[in-house]
């Protein structure tokens, strides 16, 4: 894979920006310090590299400036009949003004070359400014045959003086445009630049800071829109910073001109060992080698390195063999983009993918399909987080107000009497009304459930977690029933009648109220039920492993702890401080231990023989009659789109196909129909392994979607599959900490908020979020805090590009333990749905889709369920 990406500031067209406002969105216009004053202390010692010989002012006399017509150069010593390969040729250059007078000071920018036109050869010469108007030219003799000296005057010393003055006195020679857009589509355009003064703002400016690098960007504050509504960037104007005399010194007739020939062509004879060119060093090319001056030369239009043994890749196949298995990230300007373009154009099997971006800014991507192997073992990790000094801020007030959603009926203590807990064997249910011969399609069926303990006594309080279903086994049909806890030991069950034919009520006891009490106590009294491992490594390879978690008190070290903060989301992570290594040497992450947080009595209440068990049949099969000659309740006629309110239930199965009651869902029964839908889209999936199943389903169902081996830990990702012909890109990556996984590089664990902040969005962008399963081992406050950051990032994405499709996958059923119970998941889903309820996003209710059929619960549902989940997702991407 070849990536190319560009960053601000760059002369490009309209594009969505990456940086976001710092905490105060507007700040007064202030004088920005010069570049040299803002360099880190360790870089200030490098400023001597910018030294250039001083130039006296020319007092406006153009003819006193250095002229490319009158300057001369000659050999330093007597001319020879021939020169030996490997020797040096030296010459003296005398700078002269337009009147032909020798200059008495240096500062001109000359470029010297030794060329071999017949041999398509060339090498740069060294130009030493003697600061008295003369220059020493030196050329290594690196090939046998003819050679010719050529010298150019790039800029006279007086022109260099103009350039130095511009750097010294001006903040910028260009400006940029910033495009701000309000929710209604209103746009306002202002001037932006690298410092506040250059925005020409008469009042306050908007200041943006890249949270990773600290880089700053400034825009004049728009007339009416807020600073956070910045959505686009483009080139602005070239600013006039020179006088008429300056322009004359920089004019084309005196800039980059070849000097009159001063030295006749020379002949270089072959070396004693009969070599025709200087040989490259024998050692292979590797990072860290010191480059000589010059670093290489051309011969027969091929660059020969003098740093290492460079190779020639003259065919597309040789390039392919070299790049196989590599992911190349190019980040820079358009000259680096030329490398990407060369590889794209030279290697036919490198397929460019249309990511629907501005070409000048990227990102651009080209894919080489290579056989993929997903390793389960750990890979060599790279460092990512940086320690911070303080904890995160309090939970979002908005999400704190959602705590009422977690209400559950109180349960009296059972005082250790297991037989007093609710039993799936003795609990009973019956129809609320007399049995009918048949029922009408579209009506409701109601039943009363009486919870009983193991002695058969009716319970007098609620709090049990029952799951009710109406099934049609012959029709491969099913719908979840509504269970209303009357908090007196009885429950009202309600089922919509959505298909014609046989139907059967089925009820399961997922957890007794006493078991729910255990789970509530764990959430209330425990900060976590698992921990994680952090791997620290120094450059020599020495490693130290410590305990990490979401709370510093869970690491086993109350005093000496390493703190890590995601600057995009505010999410915190803590590790015990390693014995000898620093906090910033954290490179790897993996699952740790499951903690024992239950008593023997707790475990009995959560045992398999009383968990997720079907109650004895209490209602006979019923018959649902057709209505208006219809066999099914029809889906609503309107197409699927974000922002629709979902009824309860949100859908049902018939013939193993999910029929939405929210919108007119579609079926994508062939790979071609899926391809037609996904064509031209970039899909970003971020979440847990249940969402990864969607990525895997698409990868396995559509043959032309080729997975690409990114050499990552499969459990954490990122994973990618591509159809370059149809411009389809599917991404999946884990949601970051806390993540139970094999060892994975910390650098691969990106927060969802961070990823969303880097997306421009648009009609070709689909974002799918699926969180829950890895948060059941922590109190709900952690999940609420995570949702606060993600919701803010989703809102910002939709504000800057409202046509972006954002889909929220609710967590599915499957867990039945103290570490991941369905009761935990039910509570998290309440928070998840409420957090995004007022945003124009789509929901896929995986909870209902995994609890509607007579299939065994599994945290990773089978292909039947996953295919229907994915088809419902596709119904939002392609509603018609």
Cα distances (angstroms) measured from residue 682 to each of 14, 341, 872 = 20, 21, 17
Helix intervals (H) in 717-821: 752-757, 780-800
Cα gap 761→767, rounded to integer Å: 9
- Compute the residue count for the chain: 880
Q: In this structure, what token pair is assigned to residue 134? A: 């003369």
Q: Which of 584-588, 620-624, 711-715 is predicted with the least confidence, judged by mean pLDDT? A: 711-715
Closest CA to 153 of 131, 127, 123: 127
Cα gap 823→466, rounded to integer Å: 10
- Domains for the chain: give ranges and CATH numbers: 62-163+247-305 (2.60.40.10), 316-368 (no CATH), 408-520+601-625 (2.60.40.10), 531-594 (no CATH), 651-877 (3.40.50.1110)
Q: Taking residues 224-252, report their average pLDDT.
A: 93
Helix intervals (H) in 130-169: 157-169
* pLDDT for res 356: 75
Cα gap 20→288, rounded to integer Å: 36
DSSP string for 490-524: EEEEEEE--BSEEEEEEEEEEE-HHHHHHHHHHHH
Q: Three-state SS for 476?
A: coil
* pLDDT for res 679: 94
pTM for the complete prediction?
Answer: 0.83
> What is the Cβ-side half-sphere exposure of residue 233, based on CA atoms within 13 angstroms?
26
Cα gap 25→21, rounded to integer Å: 6
Strand pairing partners for 458?
A: 452
Q: Taking residues 564-570, report their average pLDDT.
A: 83
Contact partners, residue 439, CB within 8 Å, separation at least 6: 445, 497, 622, 623, 624, 625
* pLDDT for res 392: 34
Q: Three-state SS for 329?
A: strand
State how far Cα 136 lies from the chain centre: 52
CB 523: neighbour CB atoms within 10 A?
19
* pLDDT for res 324: 87
Q: Taking residues 534-544, report their average pLDDT.
A: 95
Q: Are 166 and 149 in contact (CB under 8 A)?
A: no
DSSP string for 161-220: HHHHHHHHH-S-SEEEEEEEE-TTS-EEEEEEESSSGGGT-SS-EEEEE-TTT--EEEEE
Position of tokens 């009885």? 490
Q: Are 520 and 826 in contact (CB under 8 A)?
A: no
The fraction of the chain above a pLDDT of 70, given in percent, is 89
Confidence check: pLDDT of 388 > 90: no
Cα gap 662→714, rounded to integer Å: 35
Please give the sequence-ordered ranges of beta strands (E in DSSP) within 570-640, or none if there are none.
572-576, 586-594, 613-614, 622-625
CB 8: neighbour CB atoms within 10 A?
18
**Using one digit for the tens of pLDDT, what is the confidence trace for 181-190?**
988 889 999 9
Confidence check: pLDDT of 381 > 80: no
Cα gap 873→683, rounded to integer Å: 11
More confident residue, 637 or 568: 637
Per the prediction, the chain carries an average pLDDT of 87
Cα gap 4→357, rounded to integer Å: 12
* pLDDT for res 371: 29
The fraction of the chain above a pLDDT of 90, given in percent, is 66
Cα gap 154→152, rounded to integer Å: 6
* pLDDT for res 715: 86
Cα gap 546→298, rounded to integer Å: 54
Burial class from Cβ neighbours inside 10 Å (0-12, 13-18, 19+) for residue 298 reads middle
Q: Are 515 and 475 in contact (CB under 8 A)?
A: no
**Using one digit for the tens of pLDDT, what is the confidence trace for 318-373?**
998 899 888 888 988 889 989 988 998 898 888 888 777 777 776 777 764 332 22
Q: In this structure, what token pair is assigned to residue 282? A: 């024998």
3-state secondary structure 644-676: CCCCCCCEEEECCEEEECCCCCCCCCCHHHHHH
Q: Taking residues 492-503, report their average pLDDT.
A: 96
3-state secondary structure 53-96: CCCCCCCCCHHHCECCCCCEEEECCCCCCCEECCCEEEEEEECE
Confidence check: pLDDT of 468 > 90: yes
* pLDDT for res 185: 86
> How many H-runs (helices) and E-runs (strands) does the chain carry?
15, 49
How would residue 488 be classed by pLDDT, with cut points 50, 70 and 90?
very high
More confident residue, 126 or 15: 126
* pLDDT for res 258: 97
* pLDDT for res 161: 93
Q: Are 68 and 257 in contact (CB under 8 A)?
A: yes
Cα gap 245→742, rounded to integer Å: 68
Closest CA to 63 of 13, 34, 119, 101: 101
Query: 417-443 burial by CB neighbour count: b if 16+ within 10 A, else e?
Result: ebebbbbbebbbbebeeeeeeebebee
* pLDDT for res 617: 94
Q: Taking residues 380-401, report their average pLDDT.
A: 38
Q: Are 869 and 667 in contact (CB under 8 A)?
A: no
Confidence check: pLDDT of 845 > 90: yes
Q: Are 598 and 579 in contact (CB under 8 A)?
A: no
**Using one digit for the tens of pLDDT, what is the confidence trace for 127-176?**
999 999 999 999 999 999 999 999 999 999 999 999 998 988 876 899 99
CB 35: neighbour CB atoms within 10 A?
11
Cα gap 782→573, rounded to integer Å: 12
Cα gap 807→311, rounded to integer Å: 49
Cα gap 778→828, rounded to integer Å: 11
**Using one digit for the tens of pLDDT, what is the confidence trace for 783-833?**
988 999 999 999 999 999 999 999 999 999 988 888 989 999 999 999 999
Contact partners, residue 186, CB within 8 Å, separation at least 6: 224, 225
Cα gap 303→378, rounded to integer Å: 39
Q: Which DSSP state fits 615?
A: P
Cα gap 42→629, rounded to integer Å: 82
Pairing of strands 216-220, 187-193: antiparallel
Confidence check: pLDDT of 490 > 70: yes
Q: Which DSSP state fits 849?
A: H
Phi, psi of 666 (to 5 degrees): -120, 160
Contact partners, residue 59, CB within 8 Å, separation at least 6: none
Q: Which DSSP state fits 277?
A: B
* pLDDT for res 42: 52
**Using one digit for the tens of pLDDT, what is the confidence trace for 1-59?**
666 665 545 444 333 333 333 333 333 333 344 444 555 555 555 567 788 998 887 78
**Using one digit for the tens of pLDDT, what is the confidence trace for 204-218?**
999 998 877 888 999
Cα distances (angstroms) measured from residue 449 to each of 458, 514, 859 = 10, 17, 27
């Amino acid at each position: 894979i070849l990536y190319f990406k560009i960053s601000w500031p760059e002369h490009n067209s309209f594009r969505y920006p990456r940086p976001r406002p710092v905490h105060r969105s507007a700040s007064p216009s202030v004088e920005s310090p010069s570049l040299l004053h803002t360099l880190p202390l360790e870089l200030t010692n490098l400023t001597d590299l910018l030294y250039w010989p001083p130039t006296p002012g020319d007092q406006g006399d153009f003819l006193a400036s250095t002229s490319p017509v009158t300057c001369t150069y000659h050999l330093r010593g007597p001319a020879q009949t021939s020169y030996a390969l490997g020797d040096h040729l030296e010459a003296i250059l005398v700078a002269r003004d337009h009147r032909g007078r020798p200059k008495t000071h240096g500062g001109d920018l000359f470029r010297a070359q030794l060329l071999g036109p017949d041999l398509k050869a060339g090498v740069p010469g060294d130009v030493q400014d003697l600061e008295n108007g003369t220059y020493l030219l030196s050329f290594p003799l690196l090939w046998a045959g003819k050679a010719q000296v050529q010298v150019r005057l790039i800029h006279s010393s007086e022109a260099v003086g103009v350039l130095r003055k511009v750097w010294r006195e001006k903040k910028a020679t260009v400006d940029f445009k910033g495009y701000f857009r309000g929710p209604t589509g209103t746009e306002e355009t202002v001037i932006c630049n690298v410092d506040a003064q250059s925005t020409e703002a008469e009042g306050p400016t908007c200041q943006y800071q890249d949270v990773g690098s600290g880089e700053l960007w400034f825009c004049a504050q728009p007339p009416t829109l807020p600073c956070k509504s910045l959505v686009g960037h483009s080139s602005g104007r070239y600013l006039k910073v020179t006088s008429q005399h300056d322009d004359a010194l920089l004019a084309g007739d005196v800039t980059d001109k070849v000097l009159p020939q001063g030295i006749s062509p020379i002949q270089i004879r072959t070396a004693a060992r009969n070599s025709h060119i200087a040989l490259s060093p024998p050692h292979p090319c590797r990072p860290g080698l010191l480059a000589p001056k010059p670093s290489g030369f051309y011969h027969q239009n091929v660059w020969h390195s003098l740093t290492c043994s460079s190779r020639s890749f003259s065919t597309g196949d040789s390039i392919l063999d070299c790049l196989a298995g590599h992911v190349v990230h190019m980040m820079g300007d358009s000259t680096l983009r030329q490398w990407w373009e060369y590889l794209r154009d030279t290697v036919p099997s490198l397929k460019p993918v249309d990511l629907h971006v501005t070409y000048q800014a990227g990102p651009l991507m080209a894919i080489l399909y290579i056989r993929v192997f997903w390793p389960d073992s750990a890979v060599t990790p790279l460092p990512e987080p940086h320690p911070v000094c303080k904890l995160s801020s309090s939970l979002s007030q908005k999400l704190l107000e959602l705590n009422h959603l977690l209400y559950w009926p109180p349960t009296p203590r059972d005082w250790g009497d297991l037989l007093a807990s609710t039993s799936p064997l003795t609990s009973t249910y019956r129809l609320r009304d007399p049995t009918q011969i048949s029922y009408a399609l579209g009506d409701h069926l109601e039943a009363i459930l009486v919870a009983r303990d193991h002695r058969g006594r009716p319970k007098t309080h609620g709090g049990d977690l029952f799951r009710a279903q109406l099934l049609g086994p012959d029709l491969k049909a099913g719908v979840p029933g509504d269970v209303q806890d009357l908090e007196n030991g009885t429950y009202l069950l309600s089922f919509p009648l959505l298909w014609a034919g046989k139907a059967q009520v089925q009820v399961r006891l997922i957890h007794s109220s006493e078991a729910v009490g255990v789970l509530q106590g764990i959430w209330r009294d425990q900060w976590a039920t698992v921990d994680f491992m952090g791997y620290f490594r120094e450059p020599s390879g020495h490693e130290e492993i410590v305990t990490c978690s979401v709370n510093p008190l869970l690491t086993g070290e109350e005093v000496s702890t390493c703190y890590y903060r995601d600057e995009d989301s505010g999410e915190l992570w803590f590790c015990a401080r390693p014995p000898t290594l620093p906090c910033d040497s954290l490179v790897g992450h993996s699952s740790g231990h499951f903690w024992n947080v239950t008593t023997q009595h707790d475990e009995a209440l959560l045992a398999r023989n009383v968990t997720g068990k079907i109650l004895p049949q209490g209602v006979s099969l019923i018959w649902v009659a057709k209505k208006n000659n219809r066999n099914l309740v029809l889906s609503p006629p309107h197409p699927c789109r974000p922002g629709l309110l979902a009824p309860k239930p949100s859908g049902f199965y018939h013939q193993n196909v999910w029929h939405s009651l929210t919108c007119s869902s579609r079926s994508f029964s062939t790979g071609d129909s899926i391809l037609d839908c996904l064509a031209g889209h970039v899909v970003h999936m971020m979440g847990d392994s249940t969402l990864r199943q969607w990525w895997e389903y698409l990868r396995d169902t559509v043959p032309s979607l080729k997975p690409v081996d990114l050499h990552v830990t499969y459990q954490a990702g990122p994973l990618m599959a591509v159809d370059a012909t149809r411009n389809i890109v599917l991404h999946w990556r884990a949601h970051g900490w806390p993540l139970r996984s094999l060892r994975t590089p910390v650098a691969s664990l990106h927060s969802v908020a961070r990823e969303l902040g880097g997306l421009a969005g648009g009609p070709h962008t689909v974002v799918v979020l699926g969180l829950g399963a890895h948060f059941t081992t922590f109190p709900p406050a952690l999940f609420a805090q995570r949702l606060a950051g993600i919701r803010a990032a989703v809102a910002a994405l939709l504000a800057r590009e409202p046509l972006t499709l954002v889909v929220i996958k609710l967590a599915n059923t499957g867990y039945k333990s103290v570490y991941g119970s369905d009761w935990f998941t039910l509570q998290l889903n309440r928070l998840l749905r409420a957090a995004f309820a007022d945003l124009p996003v789509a929901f896929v209710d995986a909870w209902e889709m995994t609890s509607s059929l007579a299939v065994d619960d599994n945290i990773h549902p089978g292909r039947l369920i996953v295919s229907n989940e994915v088809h419902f997702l596709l119904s939002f991407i392609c509603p018609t």
